[in-house]
Structure 1
């Protein structure tokens, strides 16, 4: 395991493993007690992040940590949480998340999607760095696809001329299983608007009713999974496979 993150002020015992970061100075995101702040500077014209993570402990100078390369990193953003846990010797450890985001534009619409990459994180005697990736999971998706191509389409669809598909995920604490890293619950929610829309179908072919003009969950891609760390693979694994939901997560 990567060198432990040793801080004078540890996370509160009752805070739970998933700790929401709070706003710090400038664009920094910090632990609630401000004992540690993180930042991925925004430098690109498109608003994307740089390829480095800036780590600032309360009692030290900022350290620049290079970010690993991965295929979906169109833009990089800091996941605004840390996962906290302690080793058998009582040392405080964290997992840090980086969001890789892709965007696409096309005639009459566009979309974006993101994946969460979770890494071991260490800070000791200047040896700050990211360790092995322990999780790579789909995190979000938002797509808008044109569905009106004539005045008749507009009438048939009651002027709802775009199909919208959204996907969002969360991580929360799962019951402790005694593993090296805390067990987590992954919750995914997929929605469509209008409620009858399906990306793999021609949604301009039929008429909509007023009752269809609502955002509705897609039960096929709304699901829960438990994530547990497997020492044999050095990664978090789902308790059962996730459904195929690329209609929501591929821009």
Structure 2
């Protein structure tokens, strides 16, 4: 969870934590701001296998949500609320909440997991997705299939790929909607691991048995609101990093 922050325009990034359970057992977790001005939950329709985001202006006490967004089918996904919220200042007041969509898979001798964050702007009774970004990836891929592989790999029998992304508020924004800073870090183990390549690439050296950063997928972007598309856009395109973010 990003620390609380405020930009020069008055937009704020705050904690949006799960509250102590108050609803009946099995009810979806409710997340709220510290002052309880905003709350949200993700409800699931088991029969239809779909989920929906409900955002409340205040602690829900039986009133309908201020805004609702259909999150679609969740066959293979685990959904959770982003533990932060952005309060938008000025005439375009409202909030930005986030939904984390987590997927995982397993395969012979390894597995992978990844999380995509979808930010949703809530204004009045309208909720609209405005940004999607990868925020987590972790893969473990088997590289040994016999004694010779074990020798070639010096016992390091898995390639590891890890990715983490973090969204924070740009404190320099002086007017208008908040800008968001997206910073990522990607690493591989051992040195030289390449998911698209052959794991048996000759014997590893002792100095290869380290975790190394991937500069191409460790980057920083500024997302600003684009009125033409009614969504957030980065100052530069995001690099292709599916080797880390797609299990």
TM-score by length of 1: 0.79
SS of 1:69's partner is strand
CA distance in 1, matches of 2:70, 2:241: 28
CA shift for structure 1 position 139 = 2.2
Equivalence for 2:51 = 51
Q: Which structure 2 residue ranges, 5 or more long, are not aligned?
A: 22-28
Asked whether the 8 Å contact 1:72–1:101 carries over to 2, the reply is: no
CA shift for structure 1 position 42 = 7.8
Equivalence for 1:37 = 39
User: Quick check: 147-156 or 63-72, which moved more?
Assistant: 63-72
- 1:176 correspondence with 2:173: yes
Alignment of 1:1-251 (within 5 A): 17-26=12-21, 27-40=29-42, 51-55=51-55, 57-58=58-59, 60-61=61-62, 63=64, 65-69=68-72, 74-88=77-91, 92-122=93-123, 127=125, 131-174=127-170, 175-176=172-173, 178-179=175-176, 181-251=177-247
Equivalence for 2:24 = none
Asked whether the 8 Å contact 1:36–1:58 carries over to 2, the reply is: yes
Deviations 1:228-247 (Å, cap 9, x if unpaired)? 00101101111011111111
CA distance in 1, matches of 2:129, 2:173: 21
CA distance in 1, matches of 2:208, 2:75: 34
1:232–1:209 Cα change, 3 Å: same
Equivalence for 1:5 = none
Asked whether the 8 Å contact 2:159–2:193 carries over to 1, the reply is: yes
Deviations 1:84-107 (Å, cap 9, x if unpaired)? 11123xx74111111222222211
Asked whether the 8 Å contact 1:194–1:216 carries over to 2, the reply is: yes
Q: Which runs of 4+ in 1 moved over 6 A?
A: 11-15, 70-73
Asked whether the 8 Å contact 2:84–2:98 carries over to 1, the reply is: yes
Aligned residues: 229
Asked whether the 8 Å contact 1:188–1:223 carries over to 2, the reply is: yes
CA distance in 2, matches of 1:185, 1:71: 28
Aligned-CA RMSD value? 3.0
1:202–1:135 Cα change, 3 Å: same
Deviations 1:141-167 (Å, cap 9, x if unpaired)? 111110111112112212211111111
CA distance in 2, matches of 1:195, 1:12: 37
